A and B are shown apart, each in its own frame.
Chain A
Amino acid sequence: MIVAFEPRVQDSRWRWMLTPVLALVAALVVMALVFLFIGVNPAAVYSQIIETSLTADYALGDTLAKATPLILTSLAVAFAFKMKVLSIGAEGQLLFGAIFATSAAIFLDGQPMVVVLPGTLAAGALGGIVWALIPGFLAAYAGVSIVITTLLLNFVATLFATYLIFGSASFLTENLYNFPQGREITREAWLSNIGSQSVTWGLAIALAAAVVVWCVFSLTRFGYNMKVTGDSQKAARYSGVNVKMMIILVMVGSGTLAGLAGAVEVAGRTHALDPHGLALGLGYTGIAVAVLARFRPLGIVIVSVLIAALINSGSALQSLSDNKVPAEIVDVMVGVTLIFALMGEVFVRNRLRFRFGHGRPMTGLAQVSDV
């Protein structure tokens, strides 16, 4: 028997939307088997996740607070991917956003809130742009792969932030109990909480960013040019698009979003530059979210909340059955879901054909059995 993938002629929207849902269901089933294997009741784990991330007091607020930077970092990934540019630099751009935002907040100390808060957020966006422009220029003018440069610059950014806090006595730090840590920023730069919940108005910024990104993608000439350039640089060039400039602009947009994530973390949660307390890993999780959401802004908001719920329930899971379920089980779940979703995509783009007997399928068909 020959099993073959045959490319589908028509792209179907519902199949794209179904893939991540089925991937999540498959991941939950597989994880349930794992929990049974180690002697933990899966129902207990899943109800614990729902309780700690959604139904308990303040749980939903905490989940939305966690989702806020995640929405922004995954939008950053999706923005670049609109032009088929895979940037994995949201992590480093987030850190530079945080460094710039903290610096601005400290510099603007004493000014009224209408100056300090917008200044802090704008500085955060600028920090992200600065760090995104390095791979942007290298790609546009030297043809260097954005994947690798953005990846490597993440580690440089982490080390730089570590240096600012622990290796230097800069204006960003203060000594508390003889232990260096980030200097707390002025209250005028804090994003206030929504009601009594832990989620701040940063969420509104993230949601507004999602709307803006959707508008850029769907309504503007620039969004259309991004799509054309991503599909074929040659075609874009013939139609008069400046491809080098597009690469730079796409990185500016992506960096703005990631930098804002850093600013929102500083202004809304950590209130200081703290490389260990900052949302480390949110840049990478943002890629997972963007892929699961098929790089669509609305989908990103939904998937971010789901993943944030999972992350927030991690520590509560440890209390279940003598520490048999460590918080890292959340990484396993995200990883399994992502792998299933990636594997599912082939069924969206192609249909499976089974052929019996001999004879090769028509040319143009790829064969699974022929790996």
Chain B
Amino acid sequence: MFDISWTLTFAAAIASGTPIVFAGLGALLSERVGVVNLGVEGIMLVGAVTSVAVYGATGSVQLAFLAAGIAGFIAGLLLCIVTITFRSNQIVAGLAITIFLTGVSVFAGSSLATDIRLPTPEEVALPLLSDIPFIGQVLFNHDVYVYSSWLLALVLSLFLFRTRPGLVARSLGENPQAAAALGVRVNLQRYGYVSVGGALIGFGGGYVAIAILGYWTGEATVGGLGWIAIALVIFASWRPIRLVAGAYVFGLIFQANFASQAAGYSFIPASFLSMLPYIITIAVLTILSLTRGRATGVVPAALGVPYHPGER
């Protein structure tokens, strides 16, 4: 059980789950304040292409990662303009933004030099912790972005559930009318959180380009991870720490695919393994609905409901 290949598989599951940790946290933040973001796939692509372009221009991986976040922030702003200021249907607007940004990314990517290769970020073994047998190698021997994603989840969780501004933020997704009655500027705050969420989604795309692939290969760079991130938010029932754990479960499923193909046995065909994240999510959603998730506070009650001041 503790042999080297298992250690490697679990460690790889964490690495391959990291893009959806970033993107999932971004989508979670957006949904917690009441805005569904179906633009995740497109925003991740923009983040990925931006980071490759910035690395090509500057040679700095850190700047490339940062730029992915900035690109995501701008994409998040675009979603806000369409859904909050112009009051469009959030679902349709999100899909429109995915169509638009997919095109923009591939368009921008086609003018990139084809030989840009980003160096794999160094693994930093955490002192002492990484010496724990098995667990140390699985959890505490990763690049700095993996550790930052944990910190991010922790900060987000503490912010949302332990601070007053976090409580206000959640109220935007539960009962915006009540928040407005208390003097909260609902739409202004939604603008802020959804854009910051966009930045996190951009980081997710940047991480794919930087640490997982190391180059830009068009639409396939992100290859559906954005949709899985949307499913992940539901799977984690809108909780940041659970989302990290869920991302690694999905990451393990991705790795199991590679492992079973490499080993040449396929008692479960690869396609069926890949279906699991979607099917599990539908099951979770069904259970949440049957247990009245919206009424009991698990699902943000005003999720997807636009807030128009003056309409009550």
Contacts and interface: CB of A to CB of B under 8 A. Distances in A.
Interface in A279-306: 284-285, 287-288, 291
B224 interface: yes
A325 to B, nearest CB: 8
A328 B103 contact: yes
A342 B89 CA distance: 8
B286 A342 contact: no
Nearest to A135: B282
B285 A366 contact: no
A57 interface: no
B6 interface: no
B95 A167 contact: no
Contact of B234 (A148, A329, A336, A371): A148
B271 A167 contact: yes
Main secondary structure of the interface of A (DSSP, over half): helix
A101 interface: no
B92 A342 contact: yes
Contacts of A151: 38, 227, 230
Interface in B209-235: 219, 224, 227, 230-231, 234
A206 interface: no
B305 interface: no
Interface stretch (B78-86, B164-172, B236-244): B78-86
Given A160-B271, A364-B310, A331 B278 contact: no
Most chain A CB within 10 A, of B82, B234, B275, is at B275
B87 A346 contact: yes
B157 interface: no
A291 B191 contact: no
Contacts of B310: 363-367
Interface in B72-99: 78, 81-82, 84-89, 91-93, 95-97, 99
A110 interface: no
Interface in B179-232: 185, 187-188, 191, 219, 224, 227, 230-231
Contacts of A148: 230, 234, 281-282, 285
A159 B100 contact: no
A152 to B, nearest CB: 4
A343 interface: yes
Given A332-B104, A332-B107, A339-B97, A144 B88 contact: no
B281 A152 contact: yes
A342 B86 contact: yes
Contacts, number: 154
Given A167-B270, A339-B96, A152 B107 contact: no
Given A332-B103, A335-B97, A366 B311 contact: yes
A58 interface: no
B162 interface: no
A83 to B, nearest CB: 15
A155 B91 contact: no
Contact of A147 (B91, B271, B278, B289): B91
B160 to A, nearest CB: 22
Contacts of B274: 159
A103 B207 CA distance: 42
A320 interface: no
Contacts of B103: 328-335
Contact of B224 (A155, A285, A287, A323): A155
B82 A343 contact: yes
A48 B169 CA distance: 50
Contacts of B95: 88, 284, 287-288
Contact of B227 (A155, A163, A343): A155
A162 interface: yes
B290 interface: yes
A173 interface: no
B2 interface: no
B193 to A, nearest CB: 13
15 contacts: A38-B111, A86-B92, A88-B91, A143-B289, A152-B282, A155-B227, A155-B278, A163-B272, A167-B269, A284-B99, A287-B95, A329-B107, A335-B103, A342-B88, A367-B309
Interface of A: 38, 86, 88, 138, 142-145, 147-149, 151-153, 155-156, 159-160, 162-163, 167-168, 284-285, 287-288, 291, 323-324, 326, 328-336, 338-339, 342-343, 345-346, 363-368, 370-371
Interface of B: 38, 78, 81-82, 84-89, 91-93, 95-97, 99-104, 106-107, 110-111, 185, 187-188, 191, 219, 224, 227, 230-231, 234, 266, 269-272, 274-275, 278-279, 281-282, 285-286, 289-290, 308-311
